[in-house]
């Protein structure tokens, strides 16, 4: 009798373990995605990050057969939204629209405040590049980039430039330029605003004399004739602005490293089958005519890359801003 009871208990345990294993296998084989996906845009609606996220969401939704929902989680130069994704469950249902400022500049310059590192993610792929350049008002006396750099050398702090905030590409691009021009404490004065729109308004109103940033934010004004682009950092001249010389043509090849970009990241330790599905969808997005049209409308350039290429690109961006921060002695004092 005792042996029978022990055998029954053993059998129940075996059956229970078998059932648990079977459920685990079924769960592991559930197709991804089986419900809507959220992509966090760590910046406000209407900006470069938000537009890139919405263009991706529309195309990826078709490629994955599930809705991709954009959620704007703003604050702390993109850190709040980025940190939310780092802490999310690594199941593929929470993604990040990664940006230059939040994924390269902030981890490089403010590692204590940022808390996450540039590589604390699963890299899915690059999406686009945002051509970068410097602009002035059409009423400005600076007709060429040489005119502007000469004014920087002579007027120093008396020259104002507007940005969408400190530790953004609007801020770090000019810092790189000032370093190349060997300006020290007599650098132009930064006027940080809440967004690029306000920076453009200040430029048009004469409160600032120049601004540098992703040209998509300036493009409508350039086409309307109220702003004049003096330089672009792309390797070749832009087809929409064929008259504007590149940084390399002007003798500032190092400025080519300053560029806006968007990528798709996921939390670390993402299962391989989920990562493979998301990466495969990126190839479909790359060929989507609507995505390409939406990307072109913002003045951006398609730049789909593999996870390995994305990791390499982001690492170089991080190292650029870390080096720039060290040379300017602006790295978080606790690191």
Strands 132-137, 94-99: pairing kind = unpaired
125 and 183 together in one domain? no
**Contact, 188 vs 162, CB < 8 A?**
no
pLDDT digits (tens, 9 = 90+) for 248-306: 999 999 999 999 999 999 999 999 999 999 999 999 999 999 999 999 988 899 999 99
Q: Computed over its alpha carbons, how large is the radius of gyration of the chain?
A: 24
Do 218 and 245 belong together in one domain? yes
Q: What is the pLDDT of residue 184?
A: 81
Burial of 3 (0-12, 13-18, 19+ CB in 10 A): exposed
Quote the Cα angle for 172-218-214, to 5°: 35
Q: Token pair 């540039």 is at which residue? A: 118
Q: Is residue 334 part of a domain?
A: no
* Residue 206 forms part of a structural domain: yes
Residues 151, 242 share a domain:
yes
Whether residue 32 lies inside any domain: the answer is: no
Q: Does a structural domain hold residue 84?
A: yes
Residues 264 and 287 in one domain: yes
> Can you give the pLDDT at residue 199?
87
The answer to which of 9-23, 66-80, 310-324 has the lowest mean pLDDT is 9-23
pLDDT at 22 over 80: no
CA dihedral over 309, 310, 314, 320, signed as positive or negative: positive
Query: Which residue in the block uniquely carries the two structure tokens 């004014």?
Result: 151
pLDDT of 10 strictly over 70: no
How far is it, in rounded angstroms, from Cα 248 to Cα 73? 37
Question: Do 155 and 50 sit in the same domain of this protein?
Answer: no
Cβ contact 165:193 at 8 Å:
yes
What does pLDDT average to over the chain? 89
CA 120 → CA 114, 221, 269, 275, distances in Å? 12, 38, 10, 15
* Contact criterion met (CB below 8 Å) for 80 and 147: no
**pTM, full prediction:** 0.83
Give tens-digit pLDDT for 141-170. 999 999 999 999 999 999 999 988 888 899
How many beta carbons lie within 10 A of that of residue 47, not counting itself? 22
Looking at the 3D structure of the chain, how many domains does it have?
2
The CATH number that applies at residue 174 is 3.40.190.10
Which structural domain range is residue 122 located in? 37-130+259-327
**For residue 3, which phi and psi values (nearest 5 degrees)?**
-60, -35
* Exposure on the CB side of residue 97, measured as CA atoms within 13 A: 33
**Same structural domain for residues 126 and 174?**
no
């Amino acid at each position: 009798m005792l042996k029978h009871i022990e055998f029954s208990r053993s059998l129940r345990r075996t059956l229970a373990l078998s059932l648990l294993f079977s459920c685990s296998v079924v769960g592991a084989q559930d197709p991804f995605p089986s419900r809507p996906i959220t992509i966090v845009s760590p910046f406000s609606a209407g900006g470069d990050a938000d537009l890139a996220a919405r263009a991706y969401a529309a195309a990826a939704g078709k490629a994955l057969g599930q809705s991709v929902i954009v959620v704007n989680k703003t604050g702390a130069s993109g850190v709040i939204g980025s940190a939310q994704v780092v802490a999310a469950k690594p199941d593929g249902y929470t993604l990040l629209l990664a940006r230059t400022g939040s994924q390269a500049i902030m981890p490089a310059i403010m590692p204590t405040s940022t808390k996450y590192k540039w590589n604390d993610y699963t890299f899915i792929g690059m999406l686009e590049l945002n051509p970068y350049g410097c602009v002035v008002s059409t009423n400005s006396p600076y007709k060429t980039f040489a005119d502007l750099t000469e004014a920087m050398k002579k007027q120093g702090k008396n020259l104002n430039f507007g940005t969408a905030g400190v530790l953004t590409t609007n801020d770090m691009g000019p810092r790189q330029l000032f370093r190349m021009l060997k300006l020290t404490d007599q650098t132009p004065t930064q006027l940080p605003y809440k967004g690029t729109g306000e920076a453009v308004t200040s430029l048009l109103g004469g409160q600032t004399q120049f601004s540098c940033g992703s040209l998509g934010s300036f493009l409508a004004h350039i086409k309307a004739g109220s702003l004049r682009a003096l330089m672009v950092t792309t390797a070749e001249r832009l087809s929409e602005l064929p008259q504007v010389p590149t940084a390399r043509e002007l003798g500032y090849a190092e400025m080519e490293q300053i560029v806006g970009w968007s990528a798709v990241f996921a939390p670390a330790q993402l299962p391989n089958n989920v990562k493979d599905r998301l990466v495969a969808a990126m190839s479909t997005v790359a060929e989507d005519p609507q995505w390409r049209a939406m990307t072109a409308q913002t003045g951006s350039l398609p730049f789909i890359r593999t996870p390995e290429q994305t990791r390499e690109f982001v690492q170089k961006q991080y190292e650029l801003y870390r080096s720039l921060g060290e040379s300017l002695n602006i790295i978080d004092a606790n690191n």
